[in-house]
Amino acid sequence: MTEILVSALLLIGAALMLLAAIGIIRLPDLPTRMHATTKSGALGTALIMIAVAFYFAEVAVVTRALAVIAFIIVTAPVAAHVIGRASYFVGVPLWEGTIKDDLKTSYDPETHYLRSGFEEDVPKKPAASKKTTAAKAKPKR
């Protein structure tokens, strides 16, 4: 029974990783490649670790396998976000099939200030003070 379960988990995990690898080769630009790798890769590793936990079924092994899963699930989106942001601001080109880019219009490459488009809603905020916040925001990055 456990053998079937472990085999199924291993095969699904490996298939997800293979899918991520095919995705990173086939997809046309960086953000779409990251869609394939971060989620499928993390999920594949997590499934293989669950298989390991079921196979050994000891407290020490299960704890370590759960620790690996927790690390991967916590760190994968953070790493994806950090690399995606850095690559976008560094100027890696997007695929020509990209149909919309809201970030381009609201990002100021000089000051690194990122507008939300909702500034008008905030009452009592003259244009001059907006500039000072923009200048303050610069050293943060």
Partner 1 sequence: MIGFFWNILLALAWVALTGNFGGLNFTFGFALGYAVLAIAQTQLPAIRGYAQRIPRVLRFMGFFILELVKANLKVAFDILTPPWHMQPGVIAYPLSAKTEFEITMVANFISLTPGTLSLDVSNDNRVLFIHAMFLQDEKKLLAELNEVERRLLEVLR
Partner 2 sequence: MSAYVINLVYLMLSVALLLGFIRLAKGPSLPDRVVALELVASIVAGMVGVHAIYTGVSSFLDVAIVLALTAFLAAIGFARFLERGGPRDD
The residues that touch partner 2, with contacts defined as CB under 8 A, are: 3, 6-7, 10-11, 13-15, 17-18, 20-22, 24-25, 30, 33-34, 37-38, 41-42, 44-45, 48-49, 51-52, 55-56, 58, 60-61, 64-65, 67-68, 71-72, 75-76, 78-79, 82-83, 85-87, 89-92, 109, 141
Of 89, 92, 103, 93, the closest CA to residue 141 belongs to 89
What 8-state DSSP symbol labels residue 124? S
- Give me the residues that bind partner 1 (CB under 8 A), please: 16, 19, 22-23, 26-29, 31-32, 34-36, 38-40, 42-43, 59, 62, 73-74, 76-78, 80-81, 84-85, 88, 94-95, 97-104, 106, 113-119, 122, 133-134, 137
Neighbouring-strand partners of residue 107: 114
CB 101 within 8 A of CB 94: yes
- Which of the listed partners (partner 1, partner 2, none) does 138 bind, with a CB threshold of 5 to 8 Å by partner kind? none
Cα–Cα distances in Å, from 1 out to 10, 11, 97, 132? 14, 16, 47, 66
90 contacts which partner out of partner 2, partner 1, none, CB within 5 to 8 A by kind? partner 2
8 A C-beta contact, residue 81 and residue 46: no
